[in-house]
Each structure stands twice: as C-alpha cells, then as structure tokens.
Chain A
C-alpha cells in the first residue's frame, strides 16, 4: 500500500526526538530503521470479507494527524518504592542495559506500519522494573493527551518471583477536531512472576487510537490483562500474550461500550508455546446508536504445547437497530493434548426480560439500564483491581444514563 505519512516525516525529526531524550545511538538507529521501513510496511491485519474491510485504517489521514515535534501531555507515573517506575528519559539514562535487552523484543518495531510509525516517533513513555522477589502494588500511569498526536511506549520487566499491578489510563486534555494516540506496551514477565496490567482508554470521541499490548510469560509466570475501551472515534487494539514458559498462564478481560459513531476493532490473542499453559479470554461489550464493534480472538496452540487449557468467550449486546457488531473467535490447534473452547454471541436486549421487569413496576429505561449493567457483571467480576472496576462501572453507568 502507499503510505501517506512520509511526505511530512523526515529523518531530522526523528533525530531531534531521539536527541532531546539523549538516547544512545542504537536506539536512534532502531527508530531510523523503523522510519525507513514505513514505505514497505502494511497496516495491521483487519478482518476482511468480500467487498468489505471490517475496519478501514487506510482512510485515516495520517499526514494531518501526525505532528511529531509538538507532542504535549500531562503524565503521572507513580509506584511504590520497591519498584522502579521511570519516565522514558530517565530509563534511558539509568537502565540502558534493560532497554537493550527488551526494547522491541516482544513487539517487533517493524511488525506493521503503525508499530513502525510509533517506534520512529514516540517521545514519551514509562519503564517499570520490578526486582526479584518484590511485590509492587498500585503502579499507576496516567496520560492526558494535549496535542494533535502522541506516541507512547511502555516497558514492564518483572524479575523472578516478583509481582506488579499496573493501572494505566488514557484521556484527552485539550481536545482537537482529530487526534491520534499510539501506544505500544511490552511486558517481559520473568519466571514465576505475576503481572496484572489494567488499562482504561477514555480518550476524546474525536480521537483515533492504535494500541498494541503484548506480553511474554516465562515459566510459571502469569500475565493478566484488563482492557477497557470507552473513548475515541476509532480504536484498533491488540492485547496478546505469548505463553513461552511451561506452566505459564494468561487472562485477557475486555469491556467496551461504543455509542454515537464509535468504531472499536479489538483483538485478543494468545500463543501457547510451552507445556501446561492456560489461557482465558473474556470480553463483553455494548454497541449503541450507529457504533460498530469488531472483535477477533485467536487461541493458537503450538505443536509443542502439551496439556493446554484455553478458553475464549465474547458477547456483544446491541442497544440500537443501527449499531453493528461482528466477532470472529478463532482456535488453531496443533497439539491434540488440548482442552479448549471458544464462543461469541451478538444479541439484543431480551424483550421478555424487559417485560418481566417493567411488569413489576420498573420503568422501561431503568429496566434496560439494569439489564445492560447486569450484562457487564461477569467481566467486571473478573477485575481484581477495585479502582479500575469501579471506574469502569461508573463510566458505563454514566453513559447509559445519558441515553434517552
């Protein structure tokens, strides 16, 4: 495909970003290579059926969206003393070795056009390092975007037998007609460590969002993702885990609520690449007005993945006749020693349920809201981080009550 970006993107800009952050040469090189690769790279995969791409990323006008030298944000990066929670600039100074080991090792900078763009241009980020045996709770990263475009990078490294709970939020401060947020998250979960990564995306409804979060779990490690999507005009995300070590586990819990003309394209993926691994993928979402959701879930069981357990469920509730929801749960099994299930449903509010409630005196609007909130309960119940669960509940409740 032809790319729109490089007409206004130059090596000088990338050198300036890297220079401002005082980055070593190898990082600058990685960025420049990503920039050079843009020309040949494709957009991330989207589901295609004859005559239709389920999400059309090509229509995005990157030339006007991307403004690499004017990134502005308001950021909090807070964590307990035992763990290191560093801004990207600080991490470059203090932990170059860590970056050298892990940066770009989980998400290939040149995996697709948007990862390369993000790698070339990111100007902010967070590095979370949890030393061996340390339990770090309540790491919070809050990003408020105040510029036309913002490219963000996050690295999480947990050493053996450590644990961390991270809560990340994105919102918009100064709104513009069109904004672009791009985030790449890499998680390297060391042996017998536990990472819980919760994310709540509530950007402006004018914004576009591309996010790729991926973790690699070592032996006995667990990576649990929670992914809440409420904001943006268009979101394309992937949340994924490679279960590389024996007995590693992952859970991907997702909740979304699209209204107006929002479009969510959400991927949840797991690669079983070792023995005795377990994965549980659970997503629930609502579409209203003319919103559209596209969900793709992939459970990929490799030939060496003996004794695999892998489960996937996705349910979408459409609140309007004009909203659309598509789901594609995929199961690829190359090892017969696997217990797996996958399912997806798309439906509307059950009229008999509604009548049951209204016949008891509840007005139709309140009854519908109770049914929708009840629909989210199974995913909310999977969220261990109270603050995130409560925020999600409130945002869903508020959005529901805004309805006619």
Chain B
C-alpha cells in the first residue's frame, strides 16, 4: 500500500511569480480512483506536474509526501521504518518514478529515433536500479562499490549493461500488455509517440503505466480527444491498473464521460488553485448538470 499526500501545496511558475497553486490538500491511496475536475486554469495540470517534479514550477509552501508500507515493492526490497515516508519535493523526477509515481501526460512528447521498446525497457530497468539505490542499506553499499570496481565483461564486448530485464524478457512483457490494451504490435518498433494519433498517444500512456506498475498514477486529461472505442480501451486499461496492480489513480478530467467507464471513489473540484469541494461519484454528475459556477457559489457564496 502507498499513499500520496499533498498538504497545503503552493506553487508558482519558476520564471515569474504567478501563483498557481494556493494550498492544495489531497490524498490518494493505492487502489483508489480519484477524479480531479475543475475549469481551465484552476491548477489541475500544475498539480500533476508538481507531483512529478516538472522543473518549470517552484513549490513555495507545503509538502508532497509519499507513504509506503514495508511490502510496497515486494520481497526483494526491504523498506526500513525510516524509509517509509518520502518528501517527493527533495527528489528528482526519475527518483520519484522509482518510488512509484507515474504521470500520464496530456500532451505526450514525440521523440524521433527512440523506439517504444528501447525507451520502455530502459525506463523499466532504470526504475528498478534507482529503487535499489534508494533503499540500499549502508552495509550493502560497500558491497555494491566493490562490484563496480571491475567489469565482468569488457565494455567493448557488447551488452554488459543490459539491465535487470533483458531484451527477450521485456518483449514478452510488452507483448502481453499490448494485447491487453488491444494495441497493434507494430507500435513496439515505432518511435516514441512520433506520428501517433491523439488516441494512440493516450493509449500508449496507459501502456507505459501498465509496464512500469506505479503505486500512484496521475493521469492528466487522458480522455481528451478520444473517440468512444478508444475511450473504452483506455478506461479498461486504467481499471486494470487499479484492479490488477493496486495502483492508486488520480484522474484529471474536464468531462463526466470517462467517469462512466472509470468509476471514481472520490471526486474533487479544483477552483483557483485549491480543492474547493470533495465528494463521491455523485459530485461529478451534479457538476455535469450544474457546471462549476454552482461549486463557486456553493463554496464562496458567489458565482
């Protein structure tokens, strides 16, 4: 089990002093699905980026904590008691990923010349390796240093650094996950998101989450620009993340539509950089009917 905790989070754009987050409080636990809704400019995407560590934002106040239980990463990784709470704001984006944070991008980057397979295998191995480093005991460290001293293979002799998950093993994992998401095999050898349609990119984000098995996945408008078939595929993928891997989901969306397929346990409405209102699934339906002005009125007593 893991729990992501945002408390009194304030953030601004790093270059400039425009305040975007004005004290966000939010908790997402493994296995839960949260929907984060709100009008444009209310701070939803910024919240997502700050959780993942985007360098364009500066946190001025508050905390982003990740609480882990001792068995979060299985038997191989022992999590000591003093290693169960992490202040994510002290960590680099790749370290946050290693601890189980995943950000699904609203606009995934298109990267020429790097195949999906190569990228994802690299990411998976980097995550495993970084996690080992983060949880390494001091005793183990000496051992690790000794290991590093000599090369088992000469560096000229090819893939000495293939990583924990080898090419063949990874192909198997990838193929299985792609089948689950009904993605065409050919995506594996295509360049990362390059020339993908909007829907294919979003599907690819869910695929990556399925492979990296995050503790908490923040999905930023994963539903925008999807036709109904693709929306269903993507929704199934998100539900599988929760049901099969116990991932906690923070789903950022404008629309009720995806919530018909990915049923949230909790719904939060963001206004002006704060969570203005929280509730159950019925809150989303009410929003669909009444719009955000209703929340504004309800909370501030003014529209």
Contact = CB atoms under 8 A, between A and B. Distances in A.
B108 A356 contact: yes
B94 interface: yes
Of B52, B53, B126, B208, most buried by chain A (CB within 10 Å of CB) is B126
B126 A356 contact: no
Given A358-B94, A362-B94, A377 B126 contact: no
A170 B123 CA distance: 37
Contacts of B108: 356
Interface in B83-113: 92-94, 96-98, 102-103, 105, 108-109, 111-113
Interface string A218-248: 0000000000000000000000000000000
Interface string B109-128: 10111100011101110110
Interface string A366-377: 110011011111
Contacts of B114: 370-371, 373-374
Contacts of A355: 52, 54-55, 93
Contacts, number: 86
A347 to B, nearest CB: 13
A321 to B, nearest CB: 16
A298 to B, nearest CB: 27
Contact of B113 (A357, A359, A377): A377
B151 to A, nearest CB: 14
Interface in B35-77: 52-56
B130 interface: yes
Contacts of A377: 112-113, 191
B126 A373 contact: no
Query: How big is the B interface, by class?
Result: 20 to 34
A374 B53 CA distance: 24
Contacts of B109: 350, 352-353, 356-357
Of A353, A355, A366, A373, most buried by chain B (CB within 10 Å of CB) is A355
Tell me the dominant secondary structure on chain A's binding face: helix
A357 B55 contact: no
A360 interface: yes
Interface in A346-404: 350-353, 355-364, 366-367, 370-371, 373-378
Contacts of B55: 351, 355
B212 interface: yes
B2 to A, nearest CB: 16
A353 B111 contact: yes
B247 to A, nearest CB: 15
A359 B56 CA distance: 14
Contacts of B112: 374-375, 377-378
Contacts of A375: 112-113
A143 to B, nearest CB: 23
Contacts of A378: 112-113
B94 A361 contact: yes
Contact of A361 (B111, B118, B126): B126
Nearest to B56: A351
Contact of B103 (A352, A359, A363, A366): A359
B113 A361 contact: no
Contacts of B123: 357, 360-362
A361 B119 contact: no
B94 A364 contact: yes
Of A355, A356, A361, most buried by chain B (CB within 10 Å of CB) is A361
Contacts of B97: 358-361
A356 B93 CA distance: 9
A315 to B, nearest CB: 11
Of A367, A371, A373, most buried by chain B (CB within 10 Å of CB) is A367
Contacts of B113: 373-378
Contacts of B212: 360-361
Interface in B262-301: none
Interface string A270-282: 0000000000000
Interface in A197-216: none
A284 to B, nearest CB: 10
A359 B93 contact: yes
A359 B118 CA distance: 16
A366 B53 contact: no
Interface string B181-222: 000000000010000000000000000100010000000000
Contacts of A350: 109
A360 B109 CA distance: 12
Given A353-B111, A356-B105, A356-B109, A361 B54 contact: no
Contacts of A360: 94, 97, 102, 119-120, 123, 127, 208, 212
A392 to B, nearest CB: 14
A371 B127 contact: no
B111 A374 contact: yes
Closest 8 CB pairs of A and B: A374-B113, A377-B113, A361-B127, A361-B97, A356-B109, A374-B114, A358-B93, A360-B123
12 contacts: A355-B93, A357-B123, A359-B93, A359-B96, A359-B103, A360-B119, A360-B127, A362-B94, A362-B119, A370-B114, A377-B113, A377-B191
Given A361-B126, A371-B111, A374-B114, 19 more contacts: A351-B55, A351-B56, A352-B109, A355-B93, A357-B109, A358-B53, A358-B94, A359-B53, A359-B93, A359-B103, A361-B94, A361-B98, A361-B127, A362-B119, A363-B130, A374-B112, A374-B113, A378-B112, A378-B113
Interface of A: 350-353, 355-364, 366-367, 370-371, 373-378
